[in-house]
Amino acid sequence: MISAIVYDVGHVERYTIDDESDLRAAREAPGTTWVRVSSPTEEEVRAISDAFSLHALEIEDIRGGVRPKTEEFDEHTFVLVKTVALERGETTFDEEIRTQPIGLFLGGDWLVTLTDEDERVPVVSDVWRSVENQQGRILKQGPDFAAYRVIDHVVEEYFNLLDTVGDTIEQIEESILSTPDAELIEGLNAVRRDLLSFRKVVWPMREAVGVLARGDLVGVDDSTEKYYRDVYDHLVEIVDLTETYRDLTRGTRDIYLNVVSQSTNEVMKRLTVVATIFIPLTFVVGVYGMNFGEHATNMPELTWPFAYPAVIVGMGLVTAILLVYFRREGWM
């Protein structure tokens, strides 16, 4: 699916693309040409490649899961960026990061955006609609500014994802402090995996935008470099936030282990108190549970009429004394 638009200050013209000649006509039209390609067929890929002199390896990078990067060719600059989104699973904390590559081919007066997906990518569609509706300063700028707007929208999604991850970490931490559960640590591990996957996207993304911000490329005007530097600063902040959240997950895991250990210690303390109380009681009943003769003289208390009540009272006193001692020591 191919769409083309040619725009200038106060002028926007849409082109219907049926073959390669339509692409060349759109490219040669006065103004800035933007061609948007979504889920192209092999014939459409060949037509785009021939019309704009695109290399086959660039198309392969978009489809091959290559990390974000920026490469300069003879007539254009190739920028590969990736959008990110969290997909919810069946459980509360079951989330997975889904990435979607966007290829931007930046020429002197043209821009080609290519995505290998069936649906239109929202970040591209939003900028496309702003051009169609002649909104903002984008009509006054060249294709490098349109590419900046697309990349800036991608980076905004990064912030949204980190906000969601931060809320999830806070929710897990609160749940751990109230009711620690094994499901929470599974959710925390899932968040750690998401952050690792996100880190693999945002680090090379920062380097790719850094190339655009340094002014080394011919296709980026001096007036647009400051916008790319702003995006680069945002990516540096995102990288720092990602590392901070990774540290938070490690800290939350330590909190979980400490809470579980404390809970286990409390249980062991109660069991120890119970066992300590029953040790002297077991000794008493063990002594008087031995098989003595009916008229044994070595234990005269066996023939005492009040022997049984005295033993019971004595055992009760021992229990009471131990309970008072344990409470004073703070063990109960």
b/e burial code for range 197-228 (CB count within 10 A of at least 16 → b): ebbebbbbbbebbbbbbeeebebbeeebbebb
- Asked if 80 and 208 count as a contact pair (C-beta separation under 8 A), the reply is yes
User: 35 pairs with which residues across the strands?
Assistant: 4, 112
Query: For helices 122-132 and 143-178, what crossing angle results, to 10°?
Result: 140
Write out the H or E segment, with its range, that includes residue 90. none
Model pTM score: 0.77
Going by pLDDT thresholds of 50, 70 and 90, the confidence category of residue 93 is: low
Give every strand in the sheet of 110-115, ordered side by side: 11-15, 2-8, 32-38, 110-115, 95-106, 77-88, 69-72
Pick the more confident residue, 120 or 175.
175
DSSP string, 63-76: HTTPPPEEEE-SS-
Mean pLDDT, rounded, for 37-58: 84
Position 115 pLDDT exceeds 70: yes
Q: What angle do CA 8, 4, 228 make, to 5 degrees?
A: 60
Which tokens sit at 27?
């490219």
Position 201 pLDDT exceeds 60: yes
Going by pLDDT thresholds of 50, 70 and 90, the confidence category of residue 6 is: confident
Position 292 pLDDT exceeds 70: no
- Between CA 109 and CA 257 the distance in angstroms is 58
Q: What is the pLDDT of residue 236?
A: 94
Percent of the chain's residues with pLDDT above 70:
91
Pick the more confident residue, 50 or 216.
50
Position 193 pLDDT exceeds 80: yes
Q: What is the pLDDT of residue 291?
A: 58
Q: Which of 104-108, 306-310, 314-318 has the lowest mean pLDDT?
A: 306-310
Position 204 pLDDT exceeds 80: yes
- Asked if 215 and 224 count as a contact pair (C-beta separation under 8 A), the reply is no
Position 234 pLDDT exceeds 90: yes
Which of 16-20, 162-166, 292-296 has the highest average model confidence (pLDDT)?
162-166
Q: What is the pLDDT of residue 297?
A: 56
- Between CA 105 and CA 217 the distance in angstroms is 13
Position 198 pLDDT exceeds 70: yes
Reference 255, options 148, 311, 172; nearest CA is: 172
Going by pLDDT thresholds of 50, 70 and 90, the confidence category of residue 86 is: confident
Where do the domains of the chain lie?
2-260, 264-328
Position 208 pLDDT exceeds 70: yes
Average pLDDT score, the chain: 82
- Between CA 280 and CA 270 the distance in angstroms is 17
Q: What is the pLDDT of residue 220?
A: 82
b/e burial code for range 282-291 (CB count within 10 A of at least 16 → b): eeeeeeeeee
CA dihedral of residues 98, 145, 231, 87 (deg, nearest 10): -10
Going by pLDDT thresholds of 50, 70 and 90, the confidence category of residue 215 is: confident
Q: What is the pLDDT of residue 118?
A: 53
Domains 2-260 and 264-328 share a fold: no
Using DSSP's 3-state secondary structure scheme, residue 88 falls into strand
Which tokens sit at 244?
């901070």
Position 76 pLDDT exceeds 80: yes
Pick the more confident residue, 266 or 143.
143
Q: What is the pLDDT of residue 19?
A: 78
- Between CA 73 and CA 197 the distance in angstroms is 29
Q: What is the CATH number of domain 2-260?
A: 3.30.460.20
Tens digits of per-residue pLDDT, 118-166? 555 788 888 888 888 887 778 888 888 989 999 999 999 999 999 988 8
User: 100 pairs with which residues across the strands?
Assistant: 83
Give 264-328's CATH code, choosing from 1.20.58.340, 3.40.50.300, 1.20.120.80, 3.40.640.10: 1.20.58.340
Q: What is the pLDDT of residue 151?
A: 93
Mean pLDDT, rounded, for 304-314: 77
β-strand pairing of 110-115 with 32-38: parallel
